[in-house]
Amino acid sequence: MRLLEEYTSIQYIQFSFIREIEYYGKSLVGKPIGNQETQINSNVSTSRAEEVIAPLTAPSETVFICSDVYRKQAFGNNHPLSIKRVAGVMDLSRMLGWLDGDCYLESPRASERTLRRFHHPDYIDALIRADSTGSVEQDVRVKYRIGTMENPLFPGLYQRASTAVGGSILAAEQALLGKTAFHPSGGTHHGRPNRASGFCFFNDPVFAILTLLDGGLDRILYVDLDAHHGDGVQDAFADDERVFTISVHEQKRWPYSGLVNDRAVTAARNLPVPRGFNDSELEYLMEHAILPLSRGFSPQAVVLTCGTDALDGDPLSRLKLSNLALWRAVERLLELTGHNVVLGGGGYNPWTLIRCWTGLWGRLSGRVIPECLPLAAQAYLQALECDLVDEEDIRADWLTTLADQPSPGPVRAEIKRCADAVTA
């Protein structure tokens, strides 16, 4: 297991590996929108179908939960999470006037006592000690996986991780009131009770689910649309029949779990998908697997992790979804109940992530998605940086729009077999 984890760190971090990634879907033909001075790839169409970005009817109330702690530099240098992510979503949403009024709630921090509901006391203590001293002893690094290339030590680590948990607890409390709560800094779905894993120090989705259970609900649906298997959440509730977990993730991708025949002890379904997974294939899985399974469970609440690493252009996956497909999948799942928590997750391309989560918040709160962003917003996107994305691969619509061009394609036989297997 230790050798596997060391290999995982190398697979995620080393630039010599990451720069060899070959993207899918770079042959779309079109032209850029707006006046760009930056060198960008103009071979991508930015046209949109009007019905795709039409405003939704907003739920009775939606809230955006976040914190300025995510403006602080984190994860050190040369790490996929060192890019601007959640702070960019807040900034772009404010530029569009989408965080006005009382919709924004400041995320609290989870207390040590709260964290101990799922995480082991000795692990929490080790994390606090490492954060306060700025160093990790070798035995602590090996046992708890703190201070590794994968899960580096950085100033403010404990505050950041405990705030993510506090935000997901608050999101679940808002959901119990009948609201849809969007918490983009949540979604740390790999965290283990006794160690860090996959860039995740705590597991905030677990705490969102526990809060909903504490509220008297006994049928919680958890759906994970991140490119990586939601292993930590599935394992946390593997023998709890009150929680049904569904994960759609890239096959043969770290953490190499979530095979199609993995149903945990009670209620779990896993849909590992092949490289090049497109919008048409996600729609097929929604129609023939995810929604039928979800409706059959009759959930009282839904918790979603919607990482953007499943989008075309992310450097740590080979999937080819547009953000339109991800938005639509989330919207359809939220129609199942009146108690909803929407979390962030992975995502290592700042342009695709910030645009996707900003647009998702716009959709959830009933805003009109602009076909072309204001010039100030375009300038903001143009100023972003990411060492994992080559300059020539930055696409025109990443700098000028929120909505991607749709990414349809054939529904391959293995997708159909996967749907059949999980519904059998």
Which residues lie below 8 Å from residue 157, measured CB to CB, with a gap of 6+?
74, 127, 130, 131, 201
| pLDDT for 31 beyond 80 | no
Which whole number is the average pLDDT over 239-246?
Answer: 98
- Residue spans per domain, the chain: 60-112+163-423
> Which residues have a Cβ under 8 Å from the Cβ of 61 and sit 6 or more positions away?
178, 179, 180
Tell me how far apart the alpha carbons of residues 310 and 407 are, in angstroms, rounded to a whole number: 12
Q: What is the pLDDT of residue 13?
A: 38
Is 120 a residue of the active site? no
- Give me the pLDDT at residue 53, please: 59
Residue where the block lists tokens 């010039």: 375
Burial of 345 per CB tally in 10 Å (0-12, 13-18, 19+):
buried
User: With bands split at pLDDT 50, 70 and 90, how would you rate the model's confidence at 413?
Assistant: very high
In this structure, how many other beta carbons lie within 10 angstroms of the beta carbon of residue 139? 9
Which long-range contacts does 272-276 make (Cβ < 8 Å, 24+ apart)? 272/229, 272/418, 273/248, 273/249, 273/319, 273/415, 273/418, 274/250, 274/412, 274/414, 274/415, 275/24, 275/250, 275/318, 275/319, 276/24, 276/25, 276/318, 276/319, 276/320, 276/409
**Which pLDDT score, from 0 to 100, does residue 18 have?**
33
Predicted confidence (pLDDT) per residue in 52-88, tens digit: 555 555 556 999 999 999 999 999 988 999 999 999 9
What six digits make up the tokens of 88?
Answer: 């960019």
Is residue 171 pLDDT above 90, yes or no? Answer: yes
Q: Beginning with the edge strand found earlier in the chain, give each strand of the sheet holding 340-343 in spatial order.
A: 104-106, 62-66, 180-183, 340-343, 301-305, 220-224, 243-250, 268-273
According to the model, what pLDDT value does residue 84 have?
Answer: 97
Superfamily of structural domain 60-112+163-423: Histone deacetylase domain (3.40.800.20)
Six-digit token string for 195:
């160690």
How many degrees, rounded to 5, is the angle at CA 240 between CA 208 and CA 107? 5
What pLDDT, in 10s, does the model give residues 125-160? 999 999 999 999 999 999 999 999 999 999 999 999
pLDDT band at 16 (very low <50, low <70, confident <90, very high): very low
The DSSP-derived string for 177-210 is: TT-EEEETT---TT-BTTB-BTTBSS-HHHHHHH
The predicted structure's pLDDT at residue 34 = 31
Q: Which of 183, 189, 190, 288 is catalytic?
A: 190
Q: What is the pLDDT of residues 271-326, one digit of tens each?
A: 999 999 999 999 999 999 999 999 999 999 999 999 999 999 999 999 999 999 99
Q: Which ranges of 116-230 does DSSP label H, i.e. alpha helix?
A: 121-133, 138-144, 157-176, 204-214
Looking only at the bridges linking them, the beta strands covering 340-343 and 180-183 are parallel
Cis omega (within 30 of 0) on the bond before 255? Answer: yes
Cα–Cα distances (Å) from 17 to 152, 249, 391, in that order, read 19, 21, 18
